[in-house]
């Protein structure tokens, strides 16, 4: 297994997940100055969706690259 490839894939997918998380937060709360909702739960959407996007993207990217490399390695053995 190539650890550098797995890490690279995880980082790139985490960046994409971060951008998707920010996009979802922006759609849910289009005006950052005047809050659409006044409850405290909704005030940290932009930060928390970005963090969730990074985490999910990192795990998905690393898992996908690991499975791809495992399949290539298995094909070489057969």
- Measured distance CA(24)–CA(11) in Å, rounded: 20
- Measured distance CA(58)–CA(17) in Å, rounded: 8
CA distances from 48 to 19, 29, 52, 57, 72 (A): 12, 13, 6, 14, 36
pTM exceeding the 0.85 threshold for the entire prediction: no
- Measured distance CA(51)–CA(36) in Å, rounded: 21
In tens digits, the chain (78 residues) has pLDDT values of 788 999 999 999 999 999 998 888 777 666 666 656 666 666 666 678 889 999 999 999 999 999 999 999 999 988
């Amino acid at each position: 297994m190539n650890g550098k490839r797995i890490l690279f894939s995880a980082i790139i997918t985490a960046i994409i997940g971060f951008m998707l998380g920010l996009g979802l937060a922006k759609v849910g709360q289009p005006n950052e100055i005047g809050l659409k909702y006044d409850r405290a739960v909704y005030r940290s959407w932009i930060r928390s969706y970005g963090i969730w996007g990074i985490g999910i993207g990192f795990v998905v990217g690393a898992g996908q690259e690991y499975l791809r490399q495992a399949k290539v390695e298995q094909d070489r053995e057969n």
